[in-house]
Structure 1
Amino acid sequence: MEHFAIVHAICRLALAQPTDALNFQVKRLADALEENGTVEDAAALRSLLKLSERSLEMTPRRLVPARGAAVPGETLLTTTILPADKETGTRLLEVAFPEETGRALPVFSEGLKRAAEQLVAEWSNAEALKGVGVTPTMSCLIVGPPGTGKTTLAYWLANQLGLPVVLARIDAMMSSFLGTSARNITQVFSFANRFKCVLVLDEFDSIAKMRDDPNEAGELKRVVNALLQNLDARKSVGVTIAVTNHPKLLDSAVWRRFEAQIQVPLPEFAARREIVRRYAEPCDFKDAEVAVLAAILDGCSGAEVEDFVRSYKKRNVLDPASASPIDSIRDVILLNDGRVSPEIKRIFSVDESSVISWLKNNSDLGLGVVEIASLTGKSKSTVSRLLNTKS
């Protein structure tokens, strides 16, 4: 190969900090050289690859906490080589260790919080469960609208177990080549089955669609069949959590593979109020102000509430003394048009008496004249007069 000395030097320098994709491409080059009869050049590149692998093995390794010792398998390390698509070299998964998954549990209703805590309690009391002939839940399907905290819940559960998350990259697993998607799914499951980890399948509907969908080709059936077989094989090996925004798209056979099925709904008023409090920090909003923000965001997901509160904080920091809380909320509504219901937009765009009447009559708020006066920047007598006029 002409100028091979330069190519060899470039590969040697690059492999000082190897990645899966880089190793894949260097191996491709070695294979191509060998096919063209340049055997010595190919051997030189393979020697570089071996040296690279040896240096990885000698790198100090960070161990995973031992809380997940009840799950079988090898310890997953930061230096572990991750599987890749054979055609493109694209990595099929990502790994997040416990120190990277220490997210707080999303603000849920008390019932949903207890359900999540029960799963953790099962894993912590495996021996007690074994005494009555049952085992901890090893598979969980989390469904619900976007932005409700489903993926955060999956990461929180993995963190409570003390295990790293193996997050399947659905976009990388799906391929236009016949049979490749099913092969990639098997690669991901084989990797997860080998190590102590929690396998998370986000956007699960992309690989678990109903097989009778007339708009899908026969490849979908092969993908779903491969998925079902791998889910069955993993039952006794490790924890699997699947997440989807579209439960109606899932094949009926997929549901039966998950022992726990958790519905994460849009947050009710009490949960929205706690979300506002969480994301308002370090700003010190009054209780009535927090309640109003929660009330106007009825029908929003937790993520949408967070986005609205972020806009509201910006408004207060940039111009803290120029407007009442209600005037600030009115301004922020204009920046969050898609997050607020048409009814709320109408109320806040009509006149002050409409807003005051809504504040007084909203059953979630329970505000008195003094609190409404503070929120609107009006006097108590003005608020009373507008309420009497409206009634």
Structure 2
Amino acid sequence: MANGKVLRQLIKAGATGDVAAFRRVSEVIIEEERQKQHHLLANDLEHILYGDHAIQTSRVPAAPPVPVDKERGLPLLDIRQPSRSLDEIVLPESSSDAVEEILEENRRADVLRTYGMKAISKVIFFGPPGCGKTLAAEVVACELDMPLAIVRLDTLVSSYLGETAANLRQIFDFISQYPMVVLFDEFDAIGKERGDSGDHGELRRVVNAVLQMMDAYQGKSLILAATNHEHILDSAIWRRFDDAIEFPLPDKHQLSELMKLKLRGIRRQFELEDDEVLSLFIGKSGADLERIVRRAIKRMILRSQEFLTLKDLKNALLRENINKTRQG
């Protein structure tokens, strides 16, 4: 059954007439049931959602207009309803505690204000790709019951002189007015070290603009930045954040926890704590593990196997390694 947070989101979306959010959360529930091998239930839910019982759209509240890039007219933010809760992320204890701290301070921001203090409002996530930075942003948004706004770097960075800084200004003005969790993914694209001799003056001006806007920001939104290349960030960038949280590659304990999460409801012929199983994933990210496990489960389903085997995992891992070799 869907967890409490998802059910609350579903009922809230239905009560307010937010059809888009209702559909997104419903799709998450359907996908969860499929992963648990509850295919009949998932099929029934899909029929209800898309079939005879169409949702009426007359009560959908008007959403604020998203700022657009003047050069191409494309939206600068992708706003979505988050659905991943805290029990869906596995992190080292120190990183997990730091995320919990963000949540507690923002949930009890009014208490801090009575003492003249502010809740954490600007945090940077750093570490290798696939280790949960984007997922953590969605989890934070979900737990705080706020929309998640992902900055579209492909639109933000303009070829026209001065337009990137103008786009940044639009984004900061927008998130100052509407409370949401805002993720600047691949933040190094706009926060690169200004002393890099390979960059021209426009990129240095962008970094300066970022620093100024971060300093001046007093808005209602929680700003999260994520980077896979923390070593190339300008040194002054780090001081603009209230906290920096590392997302490293998972160790054996975290790999075991991830396996429990991803293989929930799957019958298998091996133990998740088995060293032979865990050794397959040493040096892999959480995203790598998820792709491998999904591939193995699909093969199991399509071959009408009753149990997932260690051989299935090894074959899926081999395919993953071949694909990565081809990619680079």
Normalising by structure 2, we get a TM-score of 0.74
Given the superposition, is the C-alpha separation of residues 206 and 154 from structure 1 closer, same or farther in structure 2, using an over 3 Å criterion? Answer: same
Name the CA distance, whole Å, in 2 between partners of 1:131 and 1:191. 27
Q: Which has the higher contact order (CA 8 A, sep 6+)?
A: 2
Aligned-pair distance for 1:136?
1.1
Look up the match of 1:243. Answer: 226
Tell me which of 222, 234, 258 is aligned to 2:217: 234
RMSD: 2.5
Look up the match of 1:299. Answer: 283
Look up the match of 1:134. Answer: 117
Q: Does 1:151 align with 2:134?
A: yes
Query: Unaligned stretches of 5+ in structure 1?
Result: 1-58, 63-76, 342-391
Aligned residue type for 2:125? I
Aligned-pair distance for 1:110?
3.1
Given the superposition, is the C-alpha separation of residues 250 and 219 from structure 1 closer, same or farther in structure 2, using an over 3 Å criterion? Answer: same
**Is the contact between residue 333 and residue 340 of structure 1 (CA under 8 Å) also seen in structure 2?**
no
Aligned-pair distance for 1:280?
1.8
**Aligned pairs for 1:9-24 within 5 A:** none
Look up the match of 1:264. Answer: 247
Identity of aligned residues (%): 33
Q: Does 1:103 align with 2:84?
A: yes
Aligned residue type for 2:285? S
**Is the contact between residue 280 and residue 310 of structure 1 (CA under 8 Å) also seen in structure 2?**
no
The 3-state SS of whatever aligns with 1:108 is coil
Aligned residue type for 2:72? T
Look up the match of 2:186. Answer: 203
Aligned-pair distance for 1:177?
0.9
| CA deviation vs aligned residue, 1:159-194 (integer Å, no higher than 9, x gap) | 222221222111101111111111111111111112
Aligned residue type for 2:295? S
Aligned residue type for 1:201? F
Name the CA distance, whole Å, in 1 between partners of 2:99 and 2:146. 16
Tell me which of 313, 316, 320 is aligned to 1:336: 320
Normalising by structure 1, we get a TM-score of 0.62
Look up the match of 1:285. Answer: 268
Look up the match of 1:88. Answer: 72
**Is the contact between residue 143 and residue 244 of structure 1 (CA under 8 Å) also seen in structure 2?**
yes
Query: Unaligned stretches of 5+ in structure 2?
Result: 1-57
Name the CA distance, whole Å, in 1 between partners of 2:306 and 2:265. 20
Aligned residue type for 1:141? I
Q: How many residues align?
A: 265
Aligned-pair distance for 1:328?
3.4
176-185 vs 289-298, which moves further: 289-298
**Is the contact between residue 277 and residue 290 of structure 1 (CA under 8 Å) also seen in structure 2?**
no
Higher share in helix: 1
| CA deviation vs aligned residue, 1:252-281 (integer Å, no higher than 9, x gap) | 111110001000111111111121122223
Name the CA distance, whole Å, in 2 between partners of 1:340 and 1:225. 37
Name the CA distance, whole Å, in 2 between partners of 1:242 and 1:334. 33
Q: Does 1:325 align with 2:306?
A: no
Look up the match of 1:218. Answer: 201
Given the superposition, is the C-alpha separation of residues 322 and 330 from structure 1 closer, same or farther in structure 2, using an over 3 Å criterion? Answer: farther
Look up the match of 2:26. Answer: none
Given the superposition, is the C-alpha separation of residues 323 and 134 from structure 1 closer, same or farther in structure 2, using an over 3 Å criterion? Answer: closer
Given the superposition, is the C-alpha separation of residues 273 and 300 from structure 1 closer, same or farther in structure 2, using an over 3 Å criterion? Answer: same
